[in-house]
Structure 1
Amino acid sequence: MKRILFPTDFSDTATNAFIHALEFANKVNGELILLHTFNLPIYDNQFFPENYAIIYESMELAQFEMFKREIPKLRAIAEERKLDKIRLSHRLMDGDLLPNIKKSIKVDKIDFVVMGTAGSTGWEAFFLGTNTGMVITGIDVPMLCVPQEAKFEKIEIIGFTTRFRPKDKKALKLVLKIAKKSNAKVKCLYVKTIKSDVELTTIASWETEFAAEPIDFYIVEDENVESVILDFIMYKEVDILTMLTYKRGFFEGLFSPSLTKKIAINNEIPILAIPIE
């Protein structure tokens, strides 16, 4: 059984992402571990309050009470979607979000993370500086990132961007497993530019190797990689876009503000980010 970590602040954005987490868990035969973090007040060492322990305990109790109040609401959502048999467990941790997520990934042996993201600039904020952006570049397990406006729809098409590197193949095989459980098709995109170094024989070998799989390959020659990907999402009716996180700079270069605005207005879809070593 796959173990899926779901960090939540119980906001509307997180609640929307929870629906995606439930449906994802249902497809991959997984269980959900809900993580809520909180920060204690920071004090100057010279003015450290004598009752700090009491402050800590009162804040922890307040967070715990909120946790108890919110969990039944999530269970009600699961019951409404007839997914209440999915196992839910909980973690309440103090401290910063990213270290706590990393700790939970290690301690709880997490396979996937599902997290909501919000921001007036859509994907730009998502990749450049939000909590989700920090997490996506800081963990070593696949992460399903759910924009605020991405309402759950049946997954029929999964987009997969690649540069046909040997290491990409492992990620593609993972995506194909998810696609088969969802009865979905994978559409694989490679944008060939003047600087591209992929041989035609490499592309042909991939097409041969995956010929029996539910996958189509698309090779587009264009210097504007960003625009091609955005058009690909739109015209191929992609429900989830898979992207490989080689390094943070790849995302920063991929999503400029103007293009982000276009996709935020027209096409809010989840992203499955898969780290590549």
Structure 2
Amino acid sequence: MKKILLPLDFSKTSDNAFIYALEMAKLFKSELVLLHTFDLPIVDSQAMPINYSVIYDTIELANFEHFKEVMPRLRALAEERNLGHIAMSHILMDGDLVYNIKKVIQQENIDFVVMGTKGASGWLDSFIGTNTSAVISNVSVPVLSVPVEAQFKKIETIAFTTRFRDKDIEALVKVLLFAKKMNAKVKCLYVKTPDSDVSDEMIKKWEAHFEAEKELQFFIIPNENVKETIEDFLLNQDVDIQAMLTYKRNFFVELFTNTTTQQLSYHLKTPILALHE
């Protein structure tokens, strides 16, 4: 992993994601690419007969000056964590956030994206309908979404939910490689419902396939209520990162839409690692 992209909006949310991005860059010996995007206004030339370039140049300059003002604060955050040595580059672009992220991923050969998430009543509101969701759905690299309430600590446990499909094997291999860099263990969960189509033979096949992975545990929990079972698992197993495939996104969103206040307050602090098929 050579380059990590972090979109910034200079909020508390992106500051928190910045800390996670720094820690990821340290672990993977990566360069951190900071991206700030802004919108240019649509100007009616009849209502405002003024040179477009003057307006656009003024807005670009204002954003550039703001970017320069904020960078010392971010550098200070890095120094506080003894991460001032992390290589960082900066990109300032106008236009749509998702389009620009995709463009930078291609131009800069980005391997990984870290984004901050927040919502009016919880970060999942943002995850479901706004920028983070759009990025996860449209980019080709893994995305770590970091809720504003998360506080970085040593990542010791990564959860990976599976339905024992063939496509899950490759994703689990990626999660294991990610975990090894962090000296973390991976807990792979399958909730076996009464109408489950996963055979015991398939489960044993998976366990045999990953037999050499000493830091991997499989948890097969019989229960008809998948949502509550996974919620309890994440809480009771002290999960630090929840990894998932993007094809599970709708299921994942549904999973946490109707949680209790107590459970939601826990999930507010859990970063989500979205992988692609």
How would you bin the TM-score normalised by the shorter chain? Answer: over 0.9
Q: Is the 8 A contact 1:124 1:260 kept in 2?
A: no
- What's the offset of the Cα at 1:99? 0.6
Long gaps (5+) in structure 1: none
Note if 1:211 corresponds to 2:218: no
Say if 1:222 and 1:43 are closer, same or farther in 2 by CA, change over 3 A.
farther
| Aligned-residue RMSD, C-alpha | 1.7
Alpha-carbon displacement from aligned partner over 1:182-217 (angstroms, at most 9, x marks no partner): 111000111122343222222111111212211000
The corresponding residue for 1:271 is 272
Q: Aligned with 1:229: secondary structure?
A: helix
User: What is the 5 A alignment of 1:225-240?
Assistant: 225-240=226-241
Between the aligned partners of 2:49 and 2:139, the Cα distance in structure 1 is 35
- What's the offset of the Cα at 1:46? 5.1
The corresponding residue for 1:147 is 147
Q: Aligned with 2:145: secondary structure?
A: strand
The corresponding residue for 2:136 is 136
Say if 1:221 and 1:46 are closer, same or farther in 2 by CA, change over 3 A.
farther
Between the aligned partners of 2:263 and 2:136, the Cα distance in structure 1 is 19
**How many residue pairs are counted as aligned between the two chains?**
275
Note if 1:243 corresponds to 2:249: no
Long gaps (5+) in structure 2: none
Q: Aligned with 2:227: secondary structure?
A: helix
- What's the offset of the Cα at 1:29? 2.1
Between the aligned partners of 1:62 and 1:208, the Cα distance in structure 2 is 59
- What's the offset of the Cα at 1:250? 2.7
The amino acid of 1:250's aligned partner reads F
Q: Is the 8 A contact 1:121 1:264 kept in 2?
A: no
Between the aligned partners of 2:261 and 2:206, the Cα distance in structure 1 is 34
Between the aligned partners of 1:69 and 1:123, the Cα distance in structure 2 is 28
Say if 1:170 and 1:62 are closer, same or farther in 2 by CA, change over 3 A.
same
Between the aligned partners of 1:27 and 1:260, the Cα distance in structure 2 is 35
Q: Is the 8 A contact 1:40 1:95 kept in 2?
A: yes
Identical residues among aligned pairs (%): 56
Say if 1:126 and 1:260 are closer, same or farther in 2 by CA, change over 3 A.
farther
Q: Aligned with 2:78: secondary structure?
A: helix
User: What is the 5 A alignment of 1:75-90?
Assistant: 75-90=75-90
Deviates more, 1:91-100 or 1:244-253: 244-253
The amino acid of 1:272's aligned partner reads L
The corresponding residue for 1:116 is 116
With the length of structure 1 as denominator, give the TM-score of the two structures.
0.93
The amino acid of 2:211's aligned partner reads A
User: What is the 5 A alignment of 1:167-178?
Assistant: 167-178=167-178
Q: Aligned with 1:190: secondary structure?
A: strand
Q: Aligned with 1:40: secondary structure?
A: coil
Q: Is the 8 A contact 1:2 1:28 kept in 2?
A: yes
